[in-house]
Amino acid sequence: MRVLPLLLLLACGLSHADAPYQASAPLTWELKNARWFDGRQIQRGNLYVENGVFVARKPAQVNRKMDMRGQVLIGPLAEAHNHNLQTAWGWRQYADKYIDEGVFYAAMLCGDPAGVAEVRPLAADPAAPDVGFVTACITASDGYPLAAVLGQPSPEAAAAQQLIVLVDSPEQAVAQWPAIKARGGQWLRIVLAHSERPELHGRPETFGRLGLSPETAATLTRLAHAERLRVVAHVETAADFSAALAAGVDAIAHLPGYANTLGEPPETFAISEAAAAQAARQRTAVITTTAATALFPLDAAPLAALREVQRANLARLRAAGVPLLLGSDVFIGTARAELHALDDLGLDRATLLRLATIDTPRALFPGRRIGCFEPGCEASFLVLGSDPLTDLAQVDKPMLRVKQGRLLTRLAEVAASSSQASASTADPPAAKKKPAARKKAQAGKGTAKAKAKAKARPKAAAKTKATTKAKRR
């Protein structure tokens, strides 16, 4: 009999931590006494999986039957802003980390078409995270992120690189639009950084830290929307946030105040109530990225001031009803880092889990039924040891990872054999069979008793008859 603790151990691959994840064939599952997070609270009942989706009734044949008493199921996490899976090198370094941390969905926001072409076959593996790629990343000729991607930042090096498209005016945007569109993808990423301070352009000390003018950003967004492409805008300050809204972008990457590279006053990053209301009206999603703040060394006082602005911005956006998406922009990490950063900022647990497992996955893959446990939803989930609403650390240690009905494991032999029908912890103990000799003896005793009863019946009947006659007399 295969018991649940053994299955969990094998699925986690604790003794094979360096082996790549592999996926079993799609399995049929019966999860008895299950508990799962529905976006607000923990629900209870039995769950069934067949052909990669949840179904209403128990399948005719079950590969995995489990008693889930004590465990809690949540949907896999999603990462709305990173760059570590957009090259083949990065994929080899970090793809298994995503699965290990329970992050099955991701968006890479600034890849070049050639590099992403090498990654797409890797992303097609059923044991890989599902990833969307932005391959048109646009900034000014001295804009962000040139300082980070160039070995020797200079105007000459910027002009020679192929990763990022450089545009300095609305006219250039129109002229370069055919080449931008040819880079492919359904999204553009435009950079707005300190757009309220045009005087910073041309200075060596700010090279690679700036971005497009508001007018150029608006032109690019208009051109993209005419082609039914969507636009995500990198922002640094509250003024950038407002400029992105004025341009009409679909999403904003970074909560203003995620970093303060120019040492500006905290109020530079404070979103106004009017801007929050506009974002809500336009349904402009905001990707949080507060975990990225830890990447920038700050003294205690400036860091505390920045965190306070982040708390205020989050509260204002939530109060206005602005859609929030979970994204870390931490190259060596995943969405799990952002989950804990937002927890530290005081976001309530139900909201956190909903952002991570429902809102963000559906925003990244709007045509799919994910982040749910109803019939017809993709059967992708994590099994946790207990309720993450009371203990968020449970998210850090998934006991089981299932993607579209497939068990994800680091053990090739487990992946290969998982489709075999097996007993489980949900089966009642089988009744012990009696030895053949004992059965025979019992059968003999039963026969003797039956014969004795048969002989006794005529005597009893005669006695009864005699008694009846005597009474009549």
Q: Within this chain, do residues 163 and 285 fall inside the same structural domain, yes or no?
A: yes
Residue 413 lies in a domain: yes
* 331 and 406 housed in the same domain: no
**Could you give the CA distance from residue 344 to residue 339 in angstroms, rounded to a whole number?**
9
Residues 426 and 296 reside in one and the same domain: no
Domain boundary among 370, 388, 404: 370
Residue 178 lies in a domain: yes
**One-letter amino acid for residue 354 of the chain:** R
Say which CATH number the domain at 64 has.
Answer: 2.30.40.10
Q: Choose the final residue of a domain: 370, 392, 420.
A: 370
- Please give the pLDDT value at position 13: 46
User: What one-character-per-residue DSSP string does 274-334 give?
Assistant: HHHHHHHHHT-EEE--GGGGGGS---HHHHHHHHHHHHHHHHHHHHHT--EE-----TT--
Domain assignment of residue 438, yes or no: no
Max intra-chain CA distance, the chain: 136
Q: What is the pLDDT of residue 60?
A: 95
Per-residue pLDDT of the chain (473 residues; tens, 9 = 90+): 233 444 444 444 444 568 999 999 999 999 999 999 999 999 999 999 999 999 999 999 999 999 999 999 999 999 999 999 999 999 999 999 999 999 999 999 999 999 999 999 999 999 999 999 999 999 999 999 999 889 888 999 999 998 999 999 999 999 999 999 999 999 999 999 999 999 999 999 999 999 999 999 999 999 999 999 999 999 999 999 999 999 999 999 999 999 999 999 999 999 999 999 999 999 999 999 999 999 998 999 999 999 999 999 999 999 999 999 999 999 999 999 999 999 999 999 999 999 999 999 999 999 999 999 999 999 999 999 999 999 999 999 999 999 999 999 999 888 887 766 554 555 555 554 455 444 444 545 554 454 554 454 544 444 444 444 444 43
The CA distance from 226 to 220, in Å, is 10
420-456 in b/e burial notation, b at 16+ Cβ within 10 A?
eeeebbbeeeeeeeeeeeeeeeeeeeeeeeeeeeeee
**324 and 282 together in one domain:** yes
- Helix (H, G, I), strand (E, B), or coil: what is residue 341? helix
Of 67, 42, 63, 68, whose CA–CA distance to 52 is shortest?
63
Domain that holds residue 70: 1-75+372-431
Neighbours of 472 (CB within 10 A): 5
Residue 251 has a pLDDT of: 98
Residue at a domain's end among 337, 352, 370: 370
DSSP per-residue letters across 186-254: SEEEEE-SSTT-GGGTT-GGGTTSB---HHHHHHHHHHHHHTT-EEEEE--SHHHHHHHHHHT-SEEES
Which helix or strand (DSSP H or E) is residue 16 part of? Answer: none
- The residues, any chain, with a CB within 8 Å of residue 387's CB and separated by 6 or more, are 35, 42, 72, 394
Same domain, 310 and 447: no
Residue 106 lies in a domain: yes
Please report whether residue 358 resides in a domain. Answer: yes
The residues with which 403 forms a beta bridge, in sequence order, are 406
Closest to 315 measured CA to CA, from 271, 269, 360, 350 = 271
CB under 8 Å to 447, separation ≥6 — which residues? none
Q: How far apart are CA 367 and CA 41, in angstroms?
A: 25
Q: pLDDT value at position 413? A: 85
87 shares a domain with 13: no
Residues 147 and 220 in one domain: yes
**Residue 437 falls inside a structural domain:** no
Residues 359 and 378 in one domain: no
How many domains in the chain?
3
Q: Kindly provide the b/e burial profile for residues 113-149, where b requires at least 16 CB atoms within 10 angstroms of the residue's own CB.
A: eebbeebeeebeebbbbbbbbbbbbbbbbbbbbbbeb
Token output for 387: 């309720």
Q: What is the pLDDT of residue 120?
A: 96
Residues 290, 391 within the same domain = no
Residue 216 lies in a domain: yes
3-state helix, strand, coil in the chain (%, to 5): 40, 20, 40
**Whole-number Å distance between alpha carbons of 256 and 268:** 9
Q: Tell me, what's the pLDDT at 152? A: 87
Task: Report yes or no on 129 lying in a domain.
Answer: yes
User: Which pLDDT score, from 0 to 100, does residue 441 have?
Assistant: 47
Domain match, 309 and 218 both:
yes
- What b/e readout covers 313-335, taking b as 16+ CB neighbours within 10 angstroms? bbebbeebebbbbbbbbbeebbb
Which pLDDT value is given to residue 467? 45
CA dihedral over 251, 326, 147, 240, signed as positive or negative: positive
Q: Are residues 276 and 263 in the same domain?
A: yes
Partner residues linked to 45 by β-bridges: 34
Whole-number Å distance between alpha carbons of 301 and 307: 10
Say if residue 267 is in the same domain as residue 334: yes
302 CB neighbour count, 10 Å cutoff: 13
